[in-house]
Amino acid sequence: MDRMDERLGTEELERGMRPGRARDAGLILLIAVAVVAIFNSGGLVRWTERLPSSDVSVWIIERALQWDDTMRRLGPATLFEQIRERIGGA
C-alpha cells in the first residue's frame, strides 16, 4: 500500500478508501426515488396533496393519482402496504 492510501481514511475501517464521485451519489438518489415512487406511490399522492393550490399542483396531483392507480393494479403498491402492515407500520 502506498503512503497516499494510508492517509485517506481517518478510521480503521475507512483507511485506504477513496471518496466516491458526485455522479455516483446522483445515481443512488435516482434509484432511491424510483423505488419509492414504485413501491410507495400512496405516499407520493399524500405528498402531492400537500402542495400549495395552483393549476400546476392540480396537474401534478392528477398524475400522482394515475401513477398510484397503475402501481396498485400492477401490484408493487399493494405489496408495500401488505409488508408495512405485517411489520406493524402505520
Residue 54 has pLDDT above 90, yes or no: yes
**Cα separation values, 64 from 6, 37, 77, 88, Å:** 49, 9, 13, 26
Identify whether residues 1 and 32 lie together within a single domain. yes
- The pLDDT tens digits for 66-84 are 999 999 999 999 998 899 8
Please give the single-letter amino acid code of residue 14. Answer: E
Q: Are 90 and 71 in contact (CB under 8 A)?
A: no
Identify whether residues 46 and 15 lie together within a single domain. no
Q: Are 65 and 45 in contact (CB under 8 A)?
A: yes
pLDDT category of residue 6 using cuts at 50, 70 and 90: low
Identify whether residues 57 and 85 lie together within a single domain. yes
pLDDT category of residue 4 using cuts at 50, 70 and 90: low
Identify whether residues 29 and 16 lie together within a single domain. yes
Identify whether residues 1 and 27 lie together within a single domain. yes
